Amino acid sequence: REPKSRRRRRRSCRRSNHAHAMSTSAVMQAIARPCVHARVAPRTQNKAVARRTVVAAVSEPEAAAADADGEKKTRRRFPRKNITVQEDQVVVGASFTGKVKRIQDYGCFVDFGAKTDGLVHISELQAGFVDKVSEVVSEDQEVKVWIKEIKDNKISLTMKQPPTEEELAAAKSEQEAKFAARQAYKKAQDVKSQAVKALKKGQKIEGEVKSIQPFGAFVEVAEGVEGLVHITELSDDFNVNVEDFCKVGEKVTVTVIGIEGAKVKLSMKEKLDLSEMNAEAQSVVDNSASALEYAFKKKGISADMFPKGSAAAAAPAPAAEAPKQAAPAAAAAAA
């Protein structure tokens, strides 16, 4: 029979070889679930010593299966999405009925059956201003949406119903009418500008009174050009009434007193022409006449109206100056 000590050595060698062959994961699990075995040491003083040993409780195939189960548990599983809309049906302008899945500050995501959920921006929830998305929609609410744009596999939706063909045609015709009105207004302004440039300051024009206001009257001086006759340019009097001087539709003669851009200032007062007065004065007065003589003649004063004594008293004055001029000559001769 084989000695007992040799059998113990053979068993310990088999245990060590088996422990080295195990994988790291198996060893860790074995440490987590230890088993206690009693190993009988050689008899010493007729006493058996029990020692605690940690051995592997599972084999290598069992450890691999446990690792696979752990990986499966850590994975996050999402519910499978029910796709009812094919990719060829996802085009701009198509309408679908979907359900609101998530709400954000900038909009909400709607699942309408496609592979990718669409975003309804806060500005596309309804017509007008929207303060909060939650005030318009809520989660799991069914809404009708239209595809507005598709870019980089991102779908933009809108809850505003797009206009029909009739509405588009009406909007187009309205836009064309506005454009034609702007062109006509621009043409009229060009004609008015050319007519204003033809006016000169001081020019007298006959025009028609178009309207009367508390501050004055508007008179048409050219085609499409109206000038203002301010109430102060109607008369030199105070607290006058505009209707006392002109009526709507009446023909009046006005004078251009100022032009500022497209604004024309007019006057109905008779202005004194100083140039004509100067010409008249030059024709009446001789070249040697002074302004004082002209004033006397305008008042009817002449030299015959003054007494002759005054003229005689004034005559000797030049003779009196002769001795004064001779005095310096006599002094020079005496020297």
Residue with tokens 């001081």: 202
- pTM for the whole thing? 0.37
- Smallest CA-to-CA distance from 38 within 54, 49, 50 is with 50
Bigger pLDDT: 118 or 24?
Answer: 118
The pLDDT of residue 320 is 46
Among 72-76, 259-263, 268-272, 283-287, the range of highest mean pLDDT: 259-263
CA distances (Å), 298 to each of 28, 184, 288, 295, in order? Answer: 138, 60, 16, 5
Quickly count: other Cβ atoms within 10 Å of residue 118's Cβ.
Answer: 25
Cβ atoms 257, 233 nearer than 8 A: yes
* pLDDT 10s digits, 205-218: 888 888 888 888 89
Instruction: Provide the token pair at 221.
Output: 């001086």
Q: How far apart are CA 240 and CA 233, in angstroms?
A: 11
Q: For residue 335, what pLDDT band results from cuts at 50, 70 and 90?
A: very low
pLDDT tens string 301-313? 777 777 765 444 4
pLDDT per residue as tens digits for the range 65-79: 555 555 555 565 656
DSSP bridge partners of 99: 111, 142
What's the mean pLDDT when you consider all of the chain?
74
Hey, is 99 helix, strand or coil?
strand
